[in-house]
Amino acid sequence: MQDVIGIDFGTTNSVIALRQPDGQAVGLRYAAGRGVVDTFRSVLCFWAEESGASRGKLQHAAGPDAIEAYLDDPLGARLIMSMKSYLASRSFVETRVFNRPFALEDLISTFLRALVAGATGMPGGKARVVAGRPVRFVGDNADDSLAEQRLRAAFGAAGFVDVTMALEPEAAGHRFAATLEGNANVLVGDFGGGTSDFSILRFEPGARRHVTPLGHAGVGIAGDAFDYRIIDNVISPELGKGDSYRVMGTDLPVPPAFFTSFARWHQLSLMRAPKTLREINEVARMALHPERLHHLIRLVEDEAGYALYQAVSAAKAALSGAEEAVLRFTHRDLAIEAPIRRADFEGWIAPELARLSDAIDRALADAKLAPEQVDRVFLTGGTSLVPAVRRLFDQRFGGRVTGGGEFVSVAEGLALIGA
C-alpha cells in the first residue's frame, strides 16, 4: 500500500499527517527546543556566515529553528513570514535576501523541504501527497489560479512528484465525518491565519464513505486581520498614528500609510526600505510627538516585529477566555501595558465579522440550502475559538455547532482524502 501524507501549508503554522495501515490519519510531530510540537511555524530565517571558510555564505533555517536563529541575532538575520499570503499577488515577483533574489516559489519550496525533514515518522519511500489550498486565497485582488499554479510549482521544486490539491475545509470535513453515524449535510468552517473558508458537504458514511460537495465560499480574512485590529487600535497610536506634524505653520496628520504595513505582520519587513525610513524620520523631525515615531523607526530597524506580534497574539488568545486581557510589550524605552476589553475588541473586528457572515450566507446559497437543512457544523482553526466568531454560527445553527482539532484537522483530513 502506497504511503499517503496530507500537507497543510498554512499562513502561520503547517502540519503533516500520515495515513496509518488501519486507515486512520495521524499528525506528525516536530522537535522544538527540548520538546516536541504538533505544528511547524511557517517561517524562514536567513543569515550570512560572518567568519571561517564559509564567510558570506547564506544560511537558512525553518520553523522553530528559524525563530531561534532570528531571536539570537535579529539585526543580522532576515525573517520571512506569511509566505502563503503572497501566492495570489501578481505584484509579488521576488524578494531580495542579503542581495540574493528569491522567487516566492523558491522560498516556499525551501520551507517545504525543511517541514518534511523536521517531521518525525515520515515514510522513507515516495509518498502520494494531498496538499491543501483555501477556497479563496488572501488578497484584495487575489488571483486564485495563479496562487494554485505557484503552490504546485513550489511542491514540485521541493521534490514532490505525485501531488493532488484539495480544498482545506473539505479536508477538515473528512476528518469530522468519521464521527457521523448517518447521512448528514455538514457545514465546515476552516479558519486559518490568512483565509476563512466554508464548505457544505453531503456525507454518506459506510465502508466506502461517499462525499458530495454542495457549496463553497471563502474570504481572505482570518487571524491576521484580527491581529491587525489590535495593533491598529492599541499599538499604532503609541507609535504616532493620529498625531500631527507641522509644515510652514500648518498642522498635517502623520501619514496613515506608515501604519498600514506596520499593522500587517507579513508586510513589516517591507518597511525597512531606506526610502520609507527616511520619510518617517523626516516627519518625526517636525512631529508634535517625535518620540512616538522614533519608537516606530527602532521597531522596524531592530526587526522587533516577531516579539510584538507574539504579544498581540497572546492578548487575542486571552480574550477568548476572559472579558478583559492585558497586552504587554517592551522594546528599548517603549513600554506598553494596555488593558483590552473583549467588547472593544469585538467592536474593532466588526467589519471582519460582517464579511465572515456574508461568506456563510454565500456558502448556503451556493449549496441551495437553508440553515435548518444543515445537520451539523464543524469549526476548526484558531480563529474559531474567538467567541464572536462562534456566535455567528450559534445564532444560525444553534446546538448543531461543534469544533475540535483546531490545528491538525485539515492535514489529517487531507491524508484521509488520499486514502
| Tens of pLDDT, residues 112-122 | 999 999 898 88
Give the pLDDT score at 208.
66
Give the pLDDT score at 373.
96
Place of cell 511555524: 41
**Rounded-to-integer distance, Cα 291 and Cα 301, Å:** 15
| pLDDT tens digits along 196-222 | 999 999 988 766 667 888 999 989 888
pLDDT at 92 over 80: yes
- Report the chain's terminal Cα–Cα distance, integer Å: 10
Per-residue pLDDT band for 263 (boundaries 50, 70, 90) equals low
Higher pLDDT, 314 or 261: 314
Nearest to 230 by CA among 306, 134, 313, 142: 313
Place of cell 517545504: 112
pLDDT at 111 over 70: yes
| pLDDT tens digits along 307-365 | 888 899 999 999 999 999 999 999 999 999 999 999 999 999 999 999 999 999 999 99
Give the pLDDT score at 122.
84
**H-helix segments, 17-157:** 63-72, 104-118, 144-157
Place of cell 464543524: 378
Give the pLDDT score at 236.
94
50 in helix, strand or coil?
coil
In the predicted model, what is the mean pLDDT of residues 295-307?
86
Residue 47 CB coordination number (10 Å) = 20
**Rounded-to-integer distance, Cα 300 and Cα 310, Å:** 16
Give the pLDDT score at 206.
67
List Cα–Cα distances, 91 to 3, 94, 100, 133, 347, in angstroms. 38, 9, 19, 20, 32
| pLDDT tens digits along 121-150 | 888 767 889 999 998 888 778 899 999 999
pLDDT at 52 over 80: no
Place of cell 461543534: 402
